[in-house]
Amino acid sequence: MEGKANLEAAIEQLQNVEKQMRLAGDVAGTKKAVTEILQLCFEAKDWKSLNDQIVLLSKKRGQLKQAVTAMVQQAMQYIDETPDLDTRVELIKTLNSVSAGKIYVEIERARLIRKLGKIKEEQGLTAEAADLMQEVAVETFGAMAKTEKIAFILEQVRLCLDRQDYVRAQILSRKISPRVFDADTSKSKKKPKEGDNVVEEAPADIPSLLELKRIYYELMIRYYSHDNDYLEICRCYKAIYEIPSVKENPAQWIPVLRKICWYLVLSPHDPMQSSLLNSTLEDKNLSEIPKFKLLLKQLVTMEVIQWTSLWNAFMDEFESEKNLLGGSLGDKAAEDLRQRIIEHNIIVVSKYYSKITVKRVAELLCLSIQEAEKHLSDMVVSKALVAKIDRPLGIVCFQVAKDSNDILNSWAMNLEKLLDLVEKSCHQIHKETMVHKAALKV
């Protein structure tokens, strides 16, 4: 009791000093007084008094911004020193309420909410933690370090993915531009000009920009896996593959390159997929995994691929992906792989034939006539192919109906070529006649 009375007496004395300093507008003196009051409470381990003093001092009439900032920063150092979880949560909530709506302590508030969110998540309250984190829009904080902003937004995205809120996860992920990871960190920082906002240094526990790049793309892989958007997943793995620390270590880049190959094969045929496929084939590192080089070469070669022989050759590789970086390729992956091989084969057939019977197409694709018809129809609907099926005759026509303008243009071109040839022939005849006349004269 005596200790309690002494503490109250000491606090009262410091409160008088704080009042005098505050009314005099002495920033340094007010800051010193408020931090000493908090220090006294902390040393006495009187957590209730600490919370009360924080609220009381922040509500004082005409309280200086610098004093509130110093007080919040001081009290934040005590969070990890709390004896139990309830005391910790109570202190965080007190500081949170004090800093709410105050721009000059917005960074401190963001860090407090992140701590509180982590506690909630550890208690199994993921949805509550996600809701807490979403309240803070760190992208508007001018004084917060870039890496800390990115780390905070990534934490928001992760919590949304954990609670399977994919729409909000996508909205939050768009706050980060992928170009921010390509910034040259080796360049020396410019000294801030007078009047500029001074950007704070990021805390020690915030990962580097390249580590954040990997976390970002790993989260985006999780997001795109939800919709089985194979091409976007492939592009994310491609970005991870380009990180220097990954590219220097074969134990890291081989599993990533395997994933790139798999997702390229699983992606529907389009210009972006074709471009990525050709650029991956030019990668010298691909020779380290020859089986996958062979797989990609089969896709760029205009030849029909036998599904059964391909699956037998790659089934073990497909199964072993589960134990490698990034895990399995998804529940539908094997089914989608077969679908892509069928689509490749149909494109190959369309390149070699202008007309072909459905029966023959089915034989080439090792499918039933109904299945072949279904796959052809799906490709026509998705505009991956131009074809018409004459069902009574059982014929597929891959020829594109030409526009009247195209036909006229081709006729004009042919006439131009013909006249050109006639002119060249006349010139050659005239040349020969002149040569022979000259020879007769001699």
Check residue 218 and report its DSSP letter.
H
pLDDT in tens, 171-189: 888 888 888 877 655 554 5
Identify whether 157 is part of a domain. Answer: no
* Residue 401 pLDDT grade (very low, low, confident, very high; cuts 50, 70, 90): low
**389 in any annotated domain:** yes
Q: What is the pLDDT of residue 425?
A: 92
Q: Is position 88 within any domain?
A: yes
pLDDT tens readout for residues 191-212? 544 444 566 666 666 778 888 8
Position 4 confidence tier, pLDDT thresholds 50, 70, 90: low
Give the per-residue pLDDT at 197.
52
> Residue 82: its pLDDT value, please?
77
Q: Is residue 235 part of a domain?
A: no
Instruction: Tell whether 376 is covered by a domain.
Output: yes
CB of 100 closer than 8 Å to CB of 64: no
CA distance 88 to 426: 100
Answer with the one of 59, 81, 100 that is the final residue of a domain. 100
Q: Domain range holding 416?
A: 353-420
Structure confidence at residue 442 (pLDDT): 66
Q: Which CATH number characterizes residue 412's domain? A: 1.10.10.10
Residue 188 lies in a domain: no
Which residues, other chains included, contact 130 with Cβ-Cβ below 8 Å and sequence gap of 6+?
117, 156, 159, 160, 162, 163, 165
Domain boundary among 100, 117, 136: 100
- The per-residue pLDDT for 196 is 44
**Residues 217-232: what's their mean pLDDT?**
87
Asked if residue 238 has pLDDT above 60, the reply is: yes
Residues 6 or more apart from 356 whose CB is under 8 A from it?
349, 395, 396, 398
pLDDT more than 70, % of the chain: 91
Q: How far apart are CA 58 and CA 109, in angstroms?
A: 15
Find out whether 364 and 304 touch, Cβ atoms under 8 Å.
yes
Chain segment 285-294, per-residue pLDDT in tens:
778 888 888 8
In the chain, the number of structural domains is 2
Distance between CA 355 and CA 338 in Å, rounded?
Answer: 25
Token pair for 318: 């497909």
Residue 280 has pLDDT above 80, yes or no: yes
Domain finish residue from 42, 68, 100: 100
Q: Is residue 200 part of a domain?
A: no
* pLDDT band of 330, cuts 50, 70, 90: low
**Reported confidence tier of residue 422, pLDDT bands at 50, 70, 90:** very high
CB atoms within 10 A of CB 44: 16
Main-chain dihedrals φ then ψ at residue 40, nearest 5 degrees: -60, -45
Q: Do the domain assignments include residue 147? A: no
Burial class, 236, CB count within 10 angstroms (exposed 0-12 / middle 13-18 / buried 19+): buried
Instruction: Look up the pTM and report it.
Output: 0.76
User: What distance in Å separates the CA atoms of residue 409 and residue 120, rounded to the nearest whole number?
Assistant: 71
Average pLDDT over the chain, rounded to whole? Answer: 79
Which residues are 343's β-sheet partners? none
Cβ atoms of 273 and 264 within 8 Å: the answer is yes
Strands (E), 28-98: none
- Provide the pLDDT confidence category of residue 334 given band limits of 50, 70 and 90: confident
pLDDT over 80 (residue 156): yes
DSSP notation for 318-372:
HHHGGGSTT----TTHHHHHHHHHHHHHHHHHHHH-SEEEHHHHHHHHT--HHHH
